[in-house]
Amino acid sequence: MRPGPCLALFLALPVLAFAGATEPKKAIDLDRFMGRWYELMRIPNMAERNCHAAHQDWSRLGPDHFMILQTCHNDTDNGPERQMRTPARLLDPVSHAKFEASFFAGLIHRKYWVLDHADDYGWMIASTDDGKYASVLTRNPDIPAAELADLKARAGRLGLEATRLVFVGRAEH
């Protein structure tokens, strides 16, 4: 069941103000992070406006580099597709949970932290290093509304502004 109309329930969850950068909770196995991730919630940035039913495909480029192919649809879940290739490099060789992505042929660089993830790599919560923008991503695009609410609450406990997270997955069928 997709959350669609249940979004109002999630917006009622308490917010914790982000007081500076929070550190990742655990290390990641970068190879297990490769593959498809569905973005279900985000604190959007300007480039993500009008971006629906988004997913990311992660692939290794070398020991310390990887590519994130970001795909979303304009206007609606089935609108015209747009893609952005985002090269990234690891910043923390121990935890692998911090990386820098470059956008627009390297003109813009932004640091991201994988703040938390499931032990089975079924979900992750990532944000910019300052916590201003964040995403909740899962391996399955169709998770129960209660699980999505739990992830939103977890993002708040990590120090992100959970009330600013908006649902961006596919609408209910």
Q: pLDDT tens per residue, the chain (173 residues)? A: 334 333 232 333 333 333 445 899 999 999 999 999 999 999 987 777 788 889 999 999 999 999 999 999 988 888 899 999 999 999 999 999 999 999 888 899 999 999 999 999 999 999 999 999 999 999 999 999 999 999 999 999 999 999 999 988 765 42
pLDDT on residue 2: 38
Task: Report the alpha-carbon distance of residue 41 to residue 64 in Å, rounded.
Answer: 27
Residues ≥6 apart with Cβ < 8 Å to 59: 34, 66, 67, 69
Phi then psi for residue 120, to 5 deg, are -95, 10
DSSP-derived secondary structure letter, 148: H
Amino acid at 5: P
Task: Report the alpha-carbon distance of residue 134 to residue 114 in Å, rounded.
Answer: 10
Amino acid at 91: L
Q: How far is CA 74 from the centre of its chain?
A: 18
pLDDT on residue 16: 33
pLDDT on residue 21: 56
CATH code linked to domain 4-167: 2.40.128.20
Task: Report the alpha-carbon distance of residue 112 to residue 133 in Å, rounded.
Answer: 9
Long-range Cβ contacts of 11-17 (<8 Å, 24+ apart): 11/163, 13/149, 13/152, 13/153, 13/156, 13/162, 13/163, 14/156, 14/162, 14/163, 15/156, 15/161, 15/162, 15/163, 15/164, 16/156, 16/157, 16/159, 16/160, 16/161, 16/162, 17/159, 17/161
Residue that is written with structure tokens 């991201």 in the block = 112
Domain ranges of the chain: 4-167
- Residue 133 near residue 32, CB atoms below 8 Å: no
